[in-house]
Structure 1
Amino acid sequence: MEGDASAGRLEEIVPPIEDRIERLIAYWRSKKSAGGLPGRRDIDPTEIPDLLPHIGLIDVLEGGQAFRYRLLGTHLNNIFGEDFTGKDVGEIKLGDYGAFLLDLYRSVLTATSPVVSDSVFEFRDKNFLKVRRVLFPLAADGRTVDMILFINVFRSRYEEEVEPRKAGEPRGPMFDQTLISSGRELWRRHV
Protein backbone atom coordinates (compact mmCIF):
# COMPACT_ATOMS: atom_id res chain seq x y z
CA MET A 1 0.00 0.00 0.00
CA GLU A 2 1.50 3.31 -1.06
CA GLY A 3 2.34 5.62 1.80
CA ASP A 4 1.96 2.82 4.37
CA ALA A 5 4.69 2.94 6.99
CA SER A 6 4.79 -0.85 7.12
CA ALA A 7 5.81 -0.98 3.45
CA GLY A 8 9.25 0.39 4.28
CA ARG A 9 9.70 -2.17 7.03
CA LEU A 10 8.67 -4.96 4.67
CA GLU A 11 11.36 -3.97 2.20
CA GLU A 12 13.94 -4.11 5.00
CA ILE A 13 12.85 -7.64 5.96
CA VAL A 14 12.25 -9.20 2.54
CA PRO A 15 15.49 -10.27 0.84
CA PRO A 16 16.37 -8.35 -2.31
CA ILE A 17 15.27 -9.71 -5.67
CA GLU A 18 17.98 -11.72 -7.43
CA ASP A 19 19.51 -10.36 -10.65
CA ARG A 20 18.07 -13.23 -12.71
CA ILE A 21 14.59 -12.38 -11.46
CA GLU A 22 15.07 -8.64 -11.98
CA ARG A 23 16.00 -9.33 -15.60
CA LEU A 24 12.88 -11.44 -16.17
CA ILE A 25 10.70 -8.77 -14.54
CA ALA A 26 12.22 -6.11 -16.82
CA TYR A 27 11.78 -8.39 -19.84
CA TRP A 28 8.09 -9.09 -19.01
CA ARG A 29 7.44 -5.39 -18.49
CA SER A 30 9.06 -4.59 -21.85
CA LYS A 31 6.53 -6.93 -23.47
CA LYS A 32 3.51 -5.47 -21.68
CA SER A 33 1.42 -3.34 -24.03
CA ALA A 34 -0.15 -0.06 -23.02
CA GLY A 35 -3.56 -1.66 -22.85
CA GLY A 36 -2.86 -4.99 -21.26
CA LEU A 37 -0.81 -8.00 -20.36
CA PRO A 38 1.69 -9.68 -22.67
CA GLY A 39 0.72 -13.02 -24.17
CA ARG A 40 2.77 -16.14 -24.75
CA ARG A 41 3.32 -14.99 -28.34
CA ASP A 42 5.21 -11.95 -26.96
CA ILE A 43 7.75 -14.08 -25.07
CA ASP A 44 10.65 -14.96 -27.36
CA PRO A 45 13.00 -17.58 -25.86
CA THR A 46 15.86 -16.38 -28.08
CA GLU A 47 15.77 -13.05 -26.20
CA ILE A 48 16.32 -14.67 -22.78
CA PRO A 49 18.45 -17.79 -23.42
CA ASP A 50 20.31 -17.69 -20.09
CA LEU A 51 17.01 -17.66 -18.18
CA LEU A 52 15.45 -20.65 -19.95
CA PRO A 53 16.80 -23.34 -17.56
CA HIS A 54 15.15 -21.51 -14.64
CA ILE A 55 11.70 -20.73 -16.04
CA GLY A 56 8.52 -22.58 -16.79
CA LEU A 57 5.07 -22.10 -18.29
CA ILE A 58 1.75 -23.13 -16.78
CA ASP A 59 -1.46 -23.43 -18.80
CA VAL A 60 -4.58 -22.09 -17.10
CA LEU A 61 -7.41 -24.59 -17.65
CA GLU A 62 -11.13 -24.35 -17.05
CA GLY A 63 -10.99 -20.68 -16.11
CA GLY A 64 -8.48 -21.34 -13.32
CA GLN A 65 -10.03 -24.48 -11.89
CA ALA A 66 -7.01 -26.45 -13.06
CA PHE A 67 -3.43 -25.84 -14.20
CA ARG A 68 -1.02 -27.86 -16.34
CA TYR A 69 2.73 -27.52 -16.59
CA ARG A 70 3.37 -26.72 -20.24
CA LEU A 71 7.14 -26.44 -19.97
CA LEU A 72 9.85 -26.57 -17.30
CA GLY A 73 13.46 -25.52 -17.71
CA THR A 74 16.27 -28.03 -17.20
CA HIS A 75 17.35 -26.52 -13.87
CA LEU A 76 13.82 -26.99 -12.50
CA ASN A 77 13.69 -30.57 -13.81
CA ASN A 78 16.99 -31.31 -12.08
CA ILE A 79 15.83 -29.82 -8.77
CA PHE A 80 12.56 -31.79 -8.85
CA GLY A 81 14.20 -34.97 -10.16
CA GLU A 82 11.66 -35.30 -12.98
CA ASP A 83 10.01 -33.39 -15.78
CA PHE A 84 6.43 -32.32 -14.99
CA THR A 85 5.79 -31.10 -18.54
CA GLY A 86 2.26 -31.96 -19.62
CA LYS A 87 1.11 -32.93 -16.12
CA ASP A 88 -1.83 -31.40 -14.26
CA VAL A 89 -0.78 -29.64 -11.06
CA GLY A 90 -3.70 -31.03 -9.05
CA GLU A 91 -2.72 -34.59 -9.91
CA ILE A 92 0.98 -34.39 -9.03
CA LYS A 93 1.20 -31.76 -6.29
CA LEU A 94 -0.59 -33.23 -3.30
CA GLY A 95 -1.87 -32.30 0.16
CA ASP A 96 -1.11 -28.94 1.71
CA TYR A 97 1.69 -28.28 -0.77
CA GLY A 98 -0.63 -28.85 -3.72
CA ALA A 99 -3.32 -26.62 -2.17
CA PHE A 100 -0.72 -23.90 -1.61
CA LEU A 101 0.40 -24.02 -5.25
CA LEU A 102 -3.15 -23.96 -6.60
CA ASP A 103 -3.95 -20.94 -4.41
CA LEU A 104 -0.77 -19.20 -5.54
CA TYR A 105 -1.48 -19.88 -9.21
CA ARG A 106 -5.05 -18.65 -8.84
CA SER A 107 -3.78 -15.40 -7.30
CA VAL A 108 -2.05 -14.67 -10.62
CA LEU A 109 -5.34 -14.82 -12.54
CA THR A 110 -6.35 -11.34 -11.32
CA ALA A 111 -2.85 -9.86 -11.26
CA THR A 112 -1.66 -7.11 -13.55
CA SER A 113 1.92 -7.35 -12.31
CA PRO A 114 4.28 -10.19 -11.31
CA VAL A 115 3.49 -12.01 -8.06
CA VAL A 116 6.43 -12.85 -5.74
CA SER A 117 6.08 -15.64 -3.20
CA ASP A 118 8.80 -16.55 -0.71
CA SER A 119 8.38 -19.88 1.07
CA VAL A 120 10.35 -22.14 3.35
CA PHE A 121 9.92 -25.91 3.52
CA GLU A 122 11.26 -28.16 6.23
CA PHE A 123 11.92 -31.79 5.41
CA ARG A 124 11.80 -34.85 7.64
CA ASP A 125 15.59 -35.03 7.63
CA LYS A 126 15.61 -31.53 9.20
CA ASN A 127 16.97 -29.86 6.08
CA PHE A 128 15.04 -26.98 4.70
CA LEU A 129 14.77 -25.16 1.45
CA LYS A 130 13.77 -21.59 0.71
CA VAL A 131 11.96 -21.00 -2.55
CA ARG A 132 11.37 -17.66 -4.24
CA ARG A 133 8.79 -17.91 -6.98
CA VAL A 134 7.91 -15.07 -9.30
CA LEU A 135 4.82 -15.64 -11.43
CA PHE A 136 3.97 -13.50 -14.45
CA PRO A 137 0.45 -13.32 -15.89
CA LEU A 138 0.20 -13.89 -19.65
CA ALA A 139 -2.96 -13.24 -21.65
CA ALA A 140 -3.46 -13.88 -25.37
CA ASP A 141 -6.17 -11.20 -25.44
CA GLY A 142 -4.24 -8.83 -23.14
CA ARG A 143 -6.83 -9.21 -20.34
CA THR A 144 -7.77 -12.79 -19.44
CA VAL A 145 -4.83 -14.70 -17.96
CA ASP A 146 -4.50 -17.99 -19.86
CA MET A 147 -0.90 -18.84 -19.03
CA ILE A 148 1.61 -18.18 -16.27
CA LEU A 149 5.32 -17.66 -16.85
CA PHE A 150 7.36 -18.39 -13.72
CA ILE A 151 10.88 -18.49 -12.36
CA ASN A 152 12.03 -20.20 -9.17
CA VAL A 153 15.19 -19.64 -7.14
CA PHE A 154 16.04 -22.24 -4.50
CA ARG A 155 18.25 -21.49 -1.48
CA SER A 156 19.61 -23.66 1.30
CA ARG A 157 19.41 -22.84 5.00
CA TYR A 158 22.76 -21.08 4.52
CA GLU A 159 21.36 -18.79 1.80
CA GLU A 160 23.38 -20.54 -0.90
CA GLU A 161 21.61 -21.03 -4.20
CA VAL A 162 20.81 -24.68 -4.78
CA GLU A 163 22.40 -25.89 -7.97
CA PRO A 164 21.50 -29.04 -9.90
CA ARG A 165 23.53 -32.16 -9.28
CA LYS A 166 26.50 -32.68 -11.52
CA ALA A 167 27.13 -35.69 -13.75
CA GLY A 168 28.01 -38.75 -11.69
CA GLU A 169 26.21 -37.55 -8.55
CA PRO A 170 23.21 -39.57 -7.38
CA ARG A 171 19.98 -38.59 -9.12
CA GLY A 172 16.59 -38.15 -7.62
CA PRO A 173 14.69 -35.09 -6.52
CA MET A 174 16.41 -32.40 -4.50
CA PHE A 175 12.94 -31.07 -3.67
CA ASP A 176 10.75 -34.06 -2.84
CA GLN A 177 7.24 -33.01 -1.81
CA THR A 178 6.64 -36.36 -0.09
CA LEU A 179 9.36 -35.54 2.45
CA ILE A 180 8.00 -32.13 3.45
CA SER A 181 7.18 -32.09 7.15
CA SER A 182 6.08 -28.46 7.20
CA GLY A 183 6.01 -25.46 4.96
CA ARG A 184 4.87 -21.89 5.09
CA GLU A 185 4.70 -18.94 2.82
CA LEU A 186 6.69 -16.04 4.20
CA TRP A 187 5.58 -13.33 1.74
CA ARG A 188 3.34 -12.84 -1.25
CA ARG A 189 3.43 -9.47 -2.95
CA HIS A 190 3.20 -7.82 -6.34
CA VAL A 191 6.23 -6.17 -7.91
Structure 2
Amino acid sequence: MTAPVEIAHGKLRALHRFWESLRPAPDLLPGRQHFNAEDIWPWIGHIGMVDVERGGRPGVPFRFRIRLQGEHLARLTGNGRPSLYLDETLHTKYRDLILAQHSEAAATSMPVYRIQIDEAKSWKRIDRLVLPFASDGHSVDLLMTGLYMAVTPSRPCAPEGQ
Protein backbone atom coordinates (compact mmCIF):
# COMPACT_ATOMS: atom_id res chain seq x y z
CA MET A 1 0.00 0.00 0.00
CA THR A 2 1.34 3.42 -0.89
CA ALA A 3 1.30 6.42 1.39
CA PRO A 4 -1.17 9.12 0.40
CA VAL A 5 0.24 11.48 -2.21
CA GLU A 6 -0.96 15.08 -2.14
CA ILE A 7 -1.24 16.07 -5.81
CA ALA A 8 -2.19 19.64 -6.64
CA HIS A 9 -2.66 19.17 -10.40
CA GLY A 10 -6.07 17.73 -11.34
CA LYS A 11 -4.94 15.71 -14.36
CA LEU A 12 -2.04 14.21 -12.42
CA ARG A 13 -4.41 13.41 -9.55
CA ALA A 14 -6.54 11.51 -12.07
CA LEU A 15 -3.45 9.71 -13.42
CA HIS A 16 -2.54 8.67 -9.87
CA ARG A 17 -6.08 7.34 -9.29
CA PHE A 18 -5.80 5.40 -12.58
CA TRP A 19 -2.46 3.90 -11.42
CA GLU A 20 -4.00 2.93 -8.06
CA SER A 21 -6.92 1.25 -9.86
CA LEU A 22 -4.46 -0.98 -11.76
CA ARG A 23 -2.91 -2.51 -8.65
CA PRO A 24 -3.67 -6.26 -8.65
CA ALA A 25 -3.57 -6.25 -4.81
CA PRO A 26 -2.95 -3.57 -2.18
CA ASP A 27 0.61 -4.79 -1.56
CA LEU A 28 1.52 -5.19 -5.26
CA LEU A 29 2.52 -2.67 -7.90
CA PRO A 30 0.76 -2.72 -11.24
CA GLY A 31 2.76 -3.82 -14.26
CA ARG A 32 2.71 -2.73 -17.88
CA GLN A 33 0.53 -5.79 -18.55
CA HIS A 34 -2.29 -4.23 -16.50
CA PHE A 35 -3.23 -1.51 -18.99
CA ASN A 36 -3.67 -0.96 -22.72
CA ALA A 37 -2.33 2.00 -24.67
CA GLU A 38 -5.83 3.41 -25.13
CA ASP A 39 -6.29 3.49 -21.33
CA ILE A 40 -3.75 6.30 -21.04
CA TRP A 41 -5.28 8.39 -23.81
CA PRO A 42 -6.41 11.23 -21.47
CA TRP A 43 -2.74 11.93 -20.65
CA ILE A 44 -1.04 10.75 -23.85
CA GLY A 45 0.87 13.91 -24.80
CA HIS A 46 1.94 14.49 -21.22
CA ILE A 47 3.35 11.12 -20.24
CA GLY A 48 6.56 9.28 -20.77
CA MET A 49 7.68 5.78 -19.93
CA VAL A 50 11.18 4.61 -19.15
CA ASP A 51 12.53 1.13 -18.55
CA VAL A 52 14.45 0.84 -15.29
CA GLU A 53 17.89 -0.73 -15.57
CA ARG A 54 19.77 -1.55 -12.39
CA GLY A 55 23.50 -1.05 -11.97
CA GLY A 56 24.00 0.95 -15.15
CA ARG A 57 27.34 2.52 -14.11
CA PRO A 58 29.55 2.58 -11.02
CA GLY A 59 27.91 4.75 -8.37
CA VAL A 60 24.67 4.98 -10.38
CA PRO A 61 22.11 2.47 -9.07
CA PHE A 62 19.64 3.03 -11.94
CA ARG A 63 19.57 4.09 -15.55
CA PHE A 64 16.38 4.91 -17.37
CA ARG A 65 15.94 3.98 -21.03
CA ILE A 66 13.22 5.92 -22.82
CA ARG A 67 10.41 3.72 -24.07
CA LEU A 68 7.88 6.43 -24.92
CA GLN A 69 7.79 10.22 -24.69
CA GLY A 70 4.63 12.19 -25.25
CA GLU A 71 4.77 15.25 -27.48
CA HIS A 72 4.91 17.75 -24.61
CA LEU A 73 7.71 15.88 -22.82
CA ALA A 74 9.67 15.53 -26.05
CA ARG A 75 9.34 19.27 -26.61
CA LEU A 76 10.70 20.02 -23.14
CA THR A 77 13.64 17.62 -23.40
CA GLY A 78 14.31 18.41 -27.04
CA ASN A 79 14.31 14.73 -27.90
CA GLY A 80 11.50 12.25 -28.34
CA ARG A 81 13.52 9.30 -29.60
CA PRO A 82 13.00 6.06 -27.74
CA SER A 83 15.94 3.82 -26.81
CA LEU A 84 18.13 6.69 -25.55
CA TYR A 85 18.80 6.98 -21.85
CA LEU A 86 17.06 9.74 -19.96
CA ASP A 87 20.37 11.15 -18.71
CA GLU A 88 21.48 11.56 -22.34
CA THR A 89 18.49 13.72 -23.27
CA LEU A 90 17.99 16.02 -20.29
CA HIS A 91 19.20 19.62 -20.13
CA THR A 92 22.14 19.83 -17.73
CA LYS A 93 20.31 22.34 -15.51
CA TYR A 94 17.55 19.85 -14.60
CA ARG A 95 19.28 16.48 -15.10
CA ASP A 96 20.15 15.77 -11.45
CA LEU A 97 16.74 16.82 -10.15
CA ILE A 98 14.81 14.70 -12.65
CA LEU A 99 17.07 11.67 -12.29
CA ALA A 100 16.75 11.92 -8.48
CA GLN A 101 12.95 11.86 -8.74
CA HIS A 102 13.06 8.82 -11.02
CA SER A 103 15.61 7.08 -8.77
CA GLU A 104 13.44 7.75 -5.71
CA ALA A 105 10.40 6.16 -7.36
CA ALA A 106 12.46 3.15 -8.52
CA ALA A 107 14.13 2.64 -5.13
CA THR A 108 11.06 3.14 -2.91
CA SER A 109 8.37 1.66 -5.21
CA MET A 110 6.32 4.76 -4.34
CA PRO A 111 4.89 7.53 -6.50
CA VAL A 112 6.92 10.74 -6.48
CA TYR A 113 5.17 14.07 -7.05
CA ARG A 114 7.00 17.37 -7.24
CA ILE A 115 6.24 20.92 -8.25
CA GLN A 116 9.19 22.69 -9.80
CA ILE A 117 9.42 26.44 -10.23
CA ASP A 118 12.47 27.71 -12.06
CA GLU A 119 14.27 30.36 -9.99
CA ALA A 120 15.18 32.29 -13.14
CA LYS A 121 11.68 31.96 -14.61
CA SER A 122 9.25 32.18 -11.68
CA TRP A 123 6.38 32.34 -14.17
CA LYS A 124 7.04 28.72 -15.20
CA ARG A 125 5.69 25.87 -13.05
CA ILE A 126 6.13 22.18 -13.77
CA ASP A 127 4.08 19.49 -12.02
CA ARG A 128 5.69 16.05 -12.35
CA LEU A 129 4.37 12.69 -11.13
CA VAL A 130 6.55 9.58 -11.42
CA LEU A 131 4.70 6.27 -11.01
CA PRO A 132 6.43 2.89 -10.48
CA PHE A 133 5.35 -0.28 -12.32
CA ALA A 134 6.59 -3.83 -11.75
CA SER A 135 5.89 -6.81 -13.99
CA ASP A 136 6.22 -9.13 -10.98
CA GLY A 137 4.37 -6.76 -8.62
CA HIS A 138 7.51 -6.02 -6.55
CA SER A 139 10.63 -5.07 -8.50
CA VAL A 140 10.22 -1.75 -10.33
CA ASP A 141 11.05 -2.22 -14.01
CA LEU A 142 9.11 0.67 -15.58
CA LEU A 143 8.35 4.25 -14.59
CA MET A 144 5.57 6.38 -16.04
CA THR A 145 5.97 10.13 -15.74
CA GLY A 146 3.11 12.58 -16.07
CA LEU A 147 4.21 16.17 -16.62
CA TYR A 148 2.27 19.39 -17.04
CA MET A 149 3.81 22.82 -17.42
CA ALA A 150 1.90 25.98 -16.60
CA VAL A 151 3.07 29.39 -17.70
CA THR A 152 1.80 32.54 -16.03
CA PRO A 153 2.96 35.56 -18.03
CA SER A 154 4.22 38.43 -15.92
CA ARG A 155 2.52 40.91 -18.19
CA PRO A 156 -0.54 40.63 -20.42
CA CYS A 157 -0.05 39.90 -24.09
CA ALA A 158 -0.74 42.68 -26.56
CA PRO A 159 -4.12 42.36 -28.31
CA GLU A 160 -4.04 40.79 -31.75
CA GLY A 161 -3.06 43.13 -34.52
CA GLN A 162 -0.76 45.32 -32.39
TM-score interval, normalised by the smaller of the two chains: 0.7 to 0.9
Cα displacement string for residues 82-119 of structure 1 (whole angstroms, at most 9, x for unaligned residues): 31422112223254521222211110013343210111
- Contact persistence 1:122–1:129 (CA under 8 A): no
Unaligned runs of 5+ in 2: 1-5, 56-60, 155-162
State the partner residue of 1:92.
89
Is 1:142 aligned with 2:118?
Answer: no
Cα displacement string for residues 20-60 of structure 1 (whole angstroms, at most 9, x for unaligned residues): 11211111000012131001111222123121111110111
State the partner residue of 2:51.
59
State the partner residue of 1:27.
18
Is 1:133 aligned with 2:128?
Answer: yes
**Rounded Cα–Cα distance in structure 2 between residues aligned with 1:84 and 1:69:** 8
Unaligned runs of 5+ in 1: 1-10, 160-191
Structure 1 residues 37 and 84, CA gap change in structure 2 (3 angstroms):
same
**Rounded Cα–Cα distance in structure 2 between residues aligned with 1:122 and 1:17:** 20
Could you state the TM-score of these two structures normalised by the residue count of structure 2?
0.76
State the partner residue of 2:146.
151
Which residue type is aligned with residue 156 of structure 1?
V
Structure 1 residues 92 and 77, CA gap change in structure 2 (3 angstroms):
closer
**Rounded Cα–Cα distance in structure 2 between residues aligned with 1:66 and 1:150:** 15
**Rounded Cα–Cα distance in structure 2 between residues aligned with 1:89 and 1:78:** 14
Give the root-mean-square deviation of aligned CA atoms.
2.4
Which residue type is aligned with residue 86 of structure 1?
S
SS state at 2:28 partner = coil
State the partner residue of 1:163.
none
Q: Identity of counterpart residues, as a percentage?
A: 27
Q: How far 1:152 sits from its partner (Å)?
A: 0.3
- Contact persistence 1:108–1:115 (CA under 8 A): yes
Cα displacement string for residues 107-149 of structure 1 (whole angstroms, at most 9, x for unaligned residues): 00133432101112245xx575211100100011101111101
**Rounded Cα–Cα distance in structure 2 between residues aligned with 1:46 and 1:78:** 22
State the partner residue of 1:102.
99
State the partner residue of 1:6.
none
Is 1:48 aligned with 2:45?
Answer: no
The structure 1 residue matched to 2:110, chosen from 105, 109, 113, is 113
Count of matched residue positions in the alignment of Structure 1 and Structure 2: 143
Which residue type is aligned with residue 98 of structure 1?
R
Could you state the TM-score of these two structures normalised by the residue count of structure 1?
0.65
